[in-house]
Structure 1
Amino acid sequence: MTEYTDPACPWAWGSEPVFRLLRQGLSPRLEWRRVFGILFDEDDDPAPDPDAEARWYEGFVKGVAAHTRAPYAARLQWLTRTSWPASLAAKAAQEQGESVAEHVLRRLRETTFILGRPADSLQTMAGVLKGIQGLDVERLLEGRAMKAARVAVREDWAETRRPIREVRDLDGPGPHPGRVKEVGEGCRYALPTLLFE
């Protein structure tokens, strides 16, 4: 199974309990691979009015939460500037074991969806991830680990933008039917998407 996701995606946040149950129910017969698709890219144009953009996204998150019943922050302090730092940290955490990686990703999502202060810079990552049992934060954030994570997430980014034919015209029920999303001159998997093979 391949999960296309992003730490800043409210649909992924709301789907997390169901995905966790699915992994537990199908384990150990299931190999689960997580691909970080980068919802907010580094070269995206900055919002002309960051506060208005945060209020819009806050309303979007509330709408998603009405569907998924996920908790959400009463106020989003700012809109995530980029998904790269959180994706890099989550990818690098995989080197320290599945349980550690799960806790790191959950903590990163909580910064946005519980605290309303997205972890969108590597400079703040050490403080955000402090106290996660079994996590060596210094090892996670050291240059070699981040360089390897950047290569891996760059590959994830590219893979996410090569969706299979079956999801290009998918038309299903609900507000998030799984059809690909148009991005720039191409498209990517909707986040999250689970691909069973």
Structure 2
Amino acid sequence: MTSASPGRPRSTGLGGTGLGGTGADGGGAVEIVEYTDPACPWAWGSEPAFRHLRALTAGRARWRRVFGILFDDGDDPAPDPAAETAWYSRYIADIARHTRAPYAHRLRWVAATSRPASLAAKAAERQGAIAAERVLRRLRETTFVLGTPGDTAERVLDALAGLDGVDVGRLGAELGEPSVVAAVRRDHAEARDPIPEAYAFRAPGPHGTGVKETDDGVRYALPTLVFSGPGGRVAAPGWRSMAEYTAALRTVAPGHLWQAALIGPEEALAEYRSLTGPDLSLLTGRTNPPSTAVRVETAGGPLWLHPDEATTHPALAASSGLKSPRS
């Protein structure tokens, strides 16, 4: 991770609803900006750490999410879609070996664009933090558990149908609302204007740089967390450990104890609605899910669903490996 900048955090002027509490720590507010994309396999693998980090900072930091648009509408189509899908499927599996995240037995296609899913996730923020988390999680699972990316408005809404705690009808009506479209457009631009700390970032491993080249310049490596506070600013690009994230917090908010208590598997399932093996391990310190959890098999290990979540989850129809309750 790059060392903290001694200057104040750069102001984006974007505002936004934020996904966490707004609080002060010592001499100033703590902010975490998450640069991500619904279709990013590294971001999917980072979800357990991000969930733990959101719990750790709840009420003490403002969390803002920026969608980087990994796949865009204007990208040239692959000359051989089947070959591209086979290559990208292997790419996801390689990443999952590092992150231990579930991945689909078969990727049906590579997302033509991640903009519709990003619009849906941005629109969901209008319905509050719980809705925002559930929508983004379901869209990630559509790609990485089922292998059917939501790359059109119709596919997005099909994936979200019946999702508890979300007014999907309202969300669908707001997908093309000008302010939502403008917010995602700003996200796209912000993700392509990395801070110096991201450029300077170097680390060993498969995700060791802070910026990625694009057809029109550079963008943040996805995912990237930018921490800012009274102690300065730290960029944490790529798939990082919880120790690295807590070190970043201690740098930008020195003198504060950043610890999150483990919760029980039942509480975790009730709160998060779906859990991977790494989720269970990091959030609960255990490996066994609750006896009521509904198991969905993937090529990278099981996904565990809350029974209520399972009643509307696309895996109910798409996965022949669904079992309820677990054995």
Instruction: State TM-score, norm by structure 1.
Output: 0.97
Question: CA shift at 1:14, angstroms?
Answer: 0.2
Tell me the SS of whatever aligns to 2:62.
coil
Opposite residue 168 of structure 2, the aligned amino acid is V
Do structure 1's residue 70 and structure 2's residue 101 form an aligned pair? yes
Q: Distance in 2 between matches of 1:56 and 1:145?
A: 32
Question: CA shift at 1:124, angstroms?
Answer: 2.3
- The answer to whether the 8 A contact 1:73-1:115 is kept is yes
Do structure 1's residue 152 and structure 2's residue 183 form an aligned pair? yes
Do structure 1's residue 136 and structure 2's residue 179 form an aligned pair? no
Question: CA shift at 1:192, angstroms?
Answer: 0.1
Q: Over residues 62-100 of structure 1, what are the superposed CA-to-partner deviations in whole Å (9 max), with x where a residue is unaligned?
A: 011000000000110000000100000000000001011
Work out which of the residue numbers 100, 108, 115 in structure 1 matches 2:146. Answer: 115
Q: Distance in 2 between matches of 1:41 and 1:72?
A: 22
| Structure with greater proportional strand content | 2
Tell me the SS of whatever aligns to 2:184.
helix
Work out which of the residue numbers 152, 162, 165 in structure 1 matches 2:196. Answer: 165
Instruction: State TM-score, norm by structure 2.
Output: 0.59
For residues 38 and 178 of structure 1, do their structure 2 counterparts lie closer, same or farther at Cα, with a shift above 3 Å needed? same
Question: CA shift at 1:145, angstroms?
Answer: 5.8
Do structure 1's residue 93 and structure 2's residue 124 form an aligned pair? yes
Q: Distance in 2 between matches of 1:147 and 1:23?
A: 29
- The answer to whether the 8 A contact 1:140-1:146 is kept is no
Do structure 1's residue 3 and structure 2's residue 34 form an aligned pair? yes
Unpaired segments ≥5 residues, structure 1: none
Q: Distance in 2 between matches of 1:8 and 1:145?
A: 20
- The answer to whether the 8 A contact 1:2-1:195 is kept is yes
The alignment-based identity, stated in percent, is 58
Question: CA shift at 1:184, angstroms?
Answer: 1.4
Name which structure has the greater RCO, CA cutoff 8 Å, separation 6+.
1
Unpaired segments ≥5 residues, structure 2: 1-31, 229-327
- The answer to whether the 8 A contact 1:4-1:34 is kept is yes
Query: Please, which moves more after superposition, 92-101 or 132-141?
Result: 132-141
Over 6 Å off, 4+ runs: none
Do structure 1's residue 18 and structure 2's residue 45 form an aligned pair? no
Q: Distance in 1 between matches of 2:49 and 2:35?
A: 15
Work out which of the residue numbers 209, 219, 226 in structure 2 matches 1:188. Answer: 219
Query: Across the two proteins, how many residue pairs are aligned to each other?
Result: 197
Question: CA shift at 1:146, angstroms?
Answer: 3.5
- The answer to whether the 8 A contact 1:92-1:145 is kept is no
Question: CA shift at 1:142, angstroms?
Answer: 0.8
Q: Distance in 2 between matches of 1:129 and 1:194?
A: 26
Two-structure CA RMSD over aligned residues (Å):
1.2
Q: In terms of Rg, which structure is larger?
A: 2
Tell me the SS of whatever aligns to 2:225.
strand
Do structure 1's residue 61 and structure 2's residue 61 form an aligned pair? no
Question: CA shift at 1:173, angstroms?
Answer: 1.6
- The answer to whether the 8 A contact 1:94-1:100 is kept is yes
Question: CA shift at 1:2, angstroms?
Answer: 0.1
Question: CA shift at 1:27, angstroms?
Answer: 1.1
Work out which of the residue numbers 111, 122, 125 in structure 1 matches 2:156. Answer: 125
Tell me the SS of whatever aligns to 1:154.
helix
